[in-house]
Structure 1
Amino acid sequence: MNTLDIAVEDPRWHDLGLETLAALAITAALTHLAIDPDLAEVSILACDDGRIADLNADFRGKPQPTNVLSWPSDERGAEHDGGNPLPVEPDFDGALELGDIAISYDTCASEAEIAGKSMAHHVSHLTVHGLLHLLGYDHERDADATLMERIEVEILGKLGIDDPYRDHASA
């Protein structure tokens, strides 16, 4: 990947190996979508619940923690429910500036524990999820959510990670 800038505010992320997990997840997602990972630029803020709650309040008006937030560099959303987002256009030097992602250790760890999943797999999923938001995918409308989830499952499968949307308790 050309540029993956990770700012680690919570040292627990180092113990998890976020740098490696994020690089693998982002490279797999971009490759799956036929986007050259060597041209992509993504920034990740690895933080805790306090910091992400502040960001969530500032940018979404929701003053509570969440697992992941994304700020795309451009609006790329699909015009029609279930449609493909607009393609990523390179900047003047050929780079694909995608945007920024923030991810909270506390919420991710809690969700992984509740779901009985490994933290590494859950963080990989949320990294892919956040990246898809940077690329214009969303889950506000039903067909958009179906498309986004299908793509997430395909990418995660290539990483050897089970479908995060399947109810594993009944499997």
Structure 2
Amino acid sequence: MKVTPTSIPEVLVLEPKVFGDARGFFMESFNRRVFREATGIDAEFVQDNHSRSAKGVLRGLHYQLGNPQGKLVWVVRGAVFDVAVDLRRSSPTFGQWVGAELSEENRQQLWIPPGFAHGFQALSDFADVQYKVTDYYAPAEERCLAWDSPELGIVWPVQPPLLSEKDRHGLSFSQAETYQ
């Protein structure tokens, strides 16, 4: 597995080994031992999620305040622009964001540690996103950071985005609750 730090060093782009031939391909989407040896992170994943989005759908930016989740994200069909925003006040990268295109073609994964808001926008007609999380979904702890928060300046590729009611009412970065 190849590991590449992003401009926020704790957010990692992972490239699993892919074995392919004329029949197709095989890859381990997750192997705890390989992940730990390649990243130095011994994450315990407790839940797997799968979402399907139409082109232009923007999901996020979501986080759980009292139950922060680390996430390992990848795309099995289509392509997305995936974003992580550092919400840890004690971090030198507090308030910064990083984005990566994840697709079925590049088979890259993004590791987003606890303490980050996460969101993505579908770039293809449909995108199936799978991700593993390190803590259970806790609706009472869920928060939504505004996808278009002017303090962040995230440039989303598809305009206008298609948003859920919840995502239309996310708080700006200056108003959002953050982590220590």
Normalising by the smaller structure, the TM-score range is under 0.3
Higher strand share: 2
Higher helix share: 1
TM-score where L is the length of structure 1: 0.27
TM-score where L is the length of structure 2: 0.26
Higher relative contact order (CA 8 A, sep 6+): 2
